[in-house]
């Protein structure tokens, strides 16, 4: 039973990360410069006006429906330190382990798709000598 619950949680977290990646890619979220970013305090600021209007409302609705259909516990879309949209139990702590690999894989995939990283490059070509 414990193993099934763990697998279910891992799957839900993986799917959540995938949903977030899909939302960012599908909506063509624009990157803001560090000067425009807001570092969140105890409460996160909600994006309004032009920041919010850059996001397609219909696609956000589709992302919400999809995430609910797969049983995601919570989704929070943040751009430049401001909340674009959120749903589910975003105020509750979610016990999850080993998220780093999933998140980094998703971010790596985005960079590959944008042509910023060539997955055929060697470590030597990338000047990585770890």
pLDDT by residue (tens digit) across 58-106? 999 999 999 999 888 899 998 888 899 999 998 888 787 777 888 888 8
pLDDT by residue (tens digit) across 110-121? 888 998 888 898
pTM of the entire structure? 0.53
3 state DSSP class of 50: helix
What are the counts of helices (DSSP H) followed by strands (DSSP E) for the chain? 4, 3
Give one DSSP letter per residue of 42-63, joined into a string. SSPEEP-HHHHHTS-HHHHHHH
pLDDT by residue (tens digit) across 14-42? 555 555 555 555 445 444 444 466 777 77
Pairing of strands 74-79, 82-88: antiparallel
The count of other CB atoms within 10 Å of the CB of residue 60 is 19
Q: In what order do the strands lie in the sheet with 74-79?
A: 45-46, 82-88, 74-79
């Amino acid at each position: 039973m414990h193993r099934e619950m763990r697998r279910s949680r891992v799957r839900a977290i993986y799917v959540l990360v995938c949903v977030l990646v899909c939302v960012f890619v599908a909506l063509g979220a624009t990157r803001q410069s560090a000067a425009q970013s807001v570092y969140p305090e105890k409460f996160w600021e909600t994006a309004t006006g032009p920041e919010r209007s850059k996001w397609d409302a219909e696609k956000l609705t589709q992302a919400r429906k999809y995430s609910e259909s797969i049983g995601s516990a919570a989704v929070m879309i943040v751009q430049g330190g401001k909340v674009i949209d959120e749903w589910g139990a975003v105020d509750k702590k979610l016990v999850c382990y080993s998220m780093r690999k999933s998140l980094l894989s998703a971010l790596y995939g985005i960079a590959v798709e944008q042509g910023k990283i060539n997955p055929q490059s060697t470590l030597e070509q990338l000047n990585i000598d770890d």
